[in-house]
A and B are shown apart, each in its own frame.
Chain A
Amino acid sequence: MLKINDLHASVENKAILRGINLEVKAGEVHAIMGPNGSGKSTLASVIAGKEEYEVEKGEILLEGEDIEELAAEERAHKGVFLSFQYPVEIPGVSVTNFMKTAINETRKAKGLDDMPANEMLKMIREKSELLEIDRKFLSRSLNEGFSGGEKKRNEIFQMAMLEPKLAILDETDSGLDIDALRIVANGVNKLKSKDNAVIVITHYQRLLDHIVPDFVHVLYNGRIVKSGTKELAHELEEKGYDWIKEEVNA
């Protein structure tokens, strides 16, 4: 699904990613953990195509195709989805209208006609139920005045609507109470299949009790310094990151 080879990226001439290698196969869930400032969110943004980041070296292959030169929307059309750590408020555009636009633009890019209105409504109903989202919520302006939990649920709702091949969840657990965490995790688990893959970026192990990863990677100083299975996450929860830092610096 996704293969990243020796990826180096910087912002404003400051190197953030210093040689990332990662392979994510269809059907897998990978967790990327690491201390603050290790480059987790940068990695997510670079995969999604944020223009502020300069890719200096390496390649990002999605199903064998190098997507590094593609615009963010083109990557989205190919099935990349990023759930934002801080979803942006867009006053004046309702959740429903935003979703309709996103879905129909994606269909247009694939040479398909707009999704018929009744089909769209049915899909919106199903997916909003999955995330336990109130219908009234959908006519509100996108993310405007939403609580932290509402924003994150809305992100996963959008993921459910767009049915991506590769979903990257950037700190989706931050700002969630335990109920919201359960709803969000449940949504992600229901969407998981043998044909798609999920990368969960998180600081804490908490979310991984609900979305169980096949692999856990530790990012530190722009490199993946340790990889393992879900037990590694437990170890990190228990011992913190200092021992990793010591190991790397030794």
Chain B
Amino acid sequence: MDLKDKLVSSFIAFENMVDVESAVHDVRSEAIKTFEDEGFPSKRDEDWKYTSLNSVLKHDYSVFPKQENAIEYSDVKKYFIHDIDTYKIVFIDGKYSSHLSQTTHDSMDVCLMSSALAKPKYRLIIENYFNKAADKNSLSSLNTAFSQEGAYIHIPKNKVVEKPIQIIHFSTGNESALMLQPRNLIVVDENSHVQIIERHQSLTQNPVLTNSVTEVFTNKRAIVDYYKIQNDRQSASLIDNTFIKQKRESHASVHTFSFGGQLTRNNLNFYQNGERIDSTLKGVTIIGDKQHVDHNTLVHHIEPNCESHQDYKGIFGDKSTGVFNGKVIVDKIAQKTNAFQANNNILLSDKASINTKPQLEIFADDVKCSHGCTIGQLDDSAMFYMRSRGIPEKEAKALLMFAFSNNVLDSVKIPEIKRRITKLIANKLGVSIGFDL
């Protein structure tokens, strides 16, 4: 049985575990039909021209983990941002781990999707927001069909959340191959501010495929900063579908750091439903071996006087491959839009490749939209300058690559994340840089 058939037939088993009388279940039933009709995307789909899922779909994934697995904090501490106080929503093989988590209901909700879906007090929020931002593509629909667990975050108005919130998914490898469908819902009300860090981490070499959907709603003047750390083992693949619906004067930023995994596809979508909205999409990708990272972004400017800033840097070594497809739509009424997009890449080997494609659909006439993409090698004159000061070739290259990715790190607001990412970059480049940034 192929994976699609297995998933479709698993839906019946899934229905035995959830409340089928709820409104959410109607959404799920609709979604499994969509997935059944469309199946997994193939390279024939324009949006998947440069990314093939074949190699990750061939495993015999178990769709529901059979048992609950525990892990000790000391064994996984390194995957947390642990030098600052944070809220933590942690899952092990798709199941919530109360042992590793630190949630709250104190004047806001930082808790679980499963309880938000089940408990009456969350019904209104779920009705208003659940599946209201996600698109109806086959992969999002697949996730919607099986949506049950993940992070549920609701920040009521006028609240600055002091501590960042970490959402971490571990997979133990107790199943020979595991597919996960985490579903996150984040609603941030008027004037509130929250920072979120998300990570998927597999602990063994057994294959893991995660098809995640995150919906974020930023209401009037809300600020959301989202950091995605993608540094998983090479047996793990991730399809991250994130949808951010913004209301007027809100600011949302997503930084994506892609260093690990076998195949990573980021579908990152912003919808600007109001005026004076600011959206920031930044990413650093550093990969090698046969790794593949695909950034597929969409910024939809629906109302006038909004801004969007996209800046993605990629460094590709060995036989790694990258894709950047950045779509910006400016509706006819969205005058005075400022939309910037940059995608710069360095290829370190003859066998590495990047396909980069800006896609601008502009229907308004009074806008500032710019885009630029570059593919190059390291600057020779900078190399000579550094080497003439005694910095060997390899270290000079590493420093230049730091410099190359640095302006993406500049806008990271949490210093601990900045430090952590800097270290990850140093490790990834295989050098010890004799300083802290």
Residues of A whose CB lies within 8 Å of any CB of B are: 48-52, 71-73, 75-77, 80-82, 84, 87-88, 90-93, 96-98, 100-106, 109, 114, 141, 158, 162
Is B391 within 8 A of A84, CB to CB? no
Contact segment of B274-282, B403-411, B413-421: B403-411
Is B387 within 8 A of A90, CB to CB? no
Is A162 within 8 A of B384, CB to CB? no
Closest residue on chain A to residue B434 by CB atoms:
A104
Interface membership of B393, Cβ < 8 A: yes
21 contacts between A and B (CB under 8 A): A72-B388, A73-B396, A75-B388, A76-B389, A81-B389, A87-B385, A88-B379, A88-B381, A88-B382, A90-B403, A91-B403, A92-B407, A96-B435, A98-B389, A98-B399, A102-B391, A103-B390, A105-B392, A114-B434, A162-B389, A162-B390
Q: What are the residues of chain A within 8 A of B391 when measuring CB–CB?
A: 73, 101-102, 105
The tally of CB-CB contacts under 8 A between chains A and B is 89
Interface membership of B386, Cβ < 8 A: yes
Query: Smallest distance from the beta carbon of B282 to chain A beta carbons, Å?
Result: 14
Pick the contact of B384: A51, A103, A141 (CB < 8 A). A51
Is A90 within 8 A of B386, CB to CB? yes
Once bound together, how far apart are the Cα atoms of A89 and B211, in whole Å?
A: 42
Count the B residues whose beta carbon is within 8 Å of the partner chain — how many?
A: 28
Closest residue on chain A to residue B410 by CB atoms:
A92
Pick the contact of A90: B388, B390, B400, B405 (CB < 8 A). B400
Is B389 within 8 A of A102, CB to CB? yes
Q: What are the residues of chain B within 8 A of A71 when measuring CB–CB?
A: 387, 392-393
Once bound together, how far apart are the Cα atoms of A81 and B389, in whole Å?
A: 7
Is A91 within 8 A of B437, CB to CB? no
Closest residue on chain B to residue A72 by CB atoms:
B387
Residues of B whose CB lies within 8 Å of any CB of A are: 379-382, 384-393, 395-396, 399-400, 402-407, 433-435, 437
Is A105 within 8 A of B388, CB to CB? no
Is A93 within 8 A of B434, CB to CB? no
Q: What are the residues of chain A within 8 A of B404 when measuring CB–CB?
A: 92
Is B388 within 8 A of A82, CB to CB? yes
Is A101 within 8 A of B403, CB to CB? no
Q: What are the residues of chain A within 8 A of B388 when measuring CB–CB?
A: 48-50, 72-73, 75-76, 80-82, 84
Is A101 within 8 A of B385, CB to CB? no
Q: What are the residues of chain A within 8 A of B434 when measuring CB–CB?
A: 100-101, 104-105, 114
Query: Smallest distance from the beta carbon of A98 to chain B beta carbons, Å?
Result: 8
Pick the contact of A105: B381, B395, B407, B437 (CB < 8 A). B395
Once bound together, how far apart are the Cα atoms of A66 and B405, in whole Å?
A: 39
Once bound together, how far apart are the Cα atoms of A199 and B407, in whole Å?
A: 38
Query: Smallest distance from the beta carbon of B429 to chain A beta carbons, Å?
Result: 13
Closest residue on chain B to residue A78 by CB atoms:
B390
- Check A100/B389 contact, CB under 8 A, given A90-B382, A91-B407, A92-B404: no
Is A72 within 8 A of B437, CB to CB? no
Q: What are the residues of chain A within 8 A of B406 when measuring CB–CB?
A: 91-93
Query: Smallest distance from the beta carbon of A152 to chain B beta carbons, Å?
Result: 14
Q: What are the residues of chain A within 8 A of B407 when measuring CB–CB?
A: 91-92
Is A73 within 8 A of B392, CB to CB? yes
Most buried by A among B390, B400, B403, B404: B390
Once bound together, how far apart are the Cα atoms of A52 and B435, in whole Å?
A: 31
Query: Smallest distance from the beta carbon of B424 to chain A beta carbons, Å?
Result: 16
Most buried by B among A81, A84, A92, A158: A92
Q: Could you list 15 further interchain pairs (A-B, Cβ under 8 angstroms) beyond the known A51-B384, A96-B435, A103-B390?
A: A52-B380, A76-B387, A80-B388, A82-B388, A84-B385, A88-B379, A88-B381, A90-B386, A90-B403, A91-B407, A92-B404, A98-B386, A101-B435, A105-B390, A105-B392
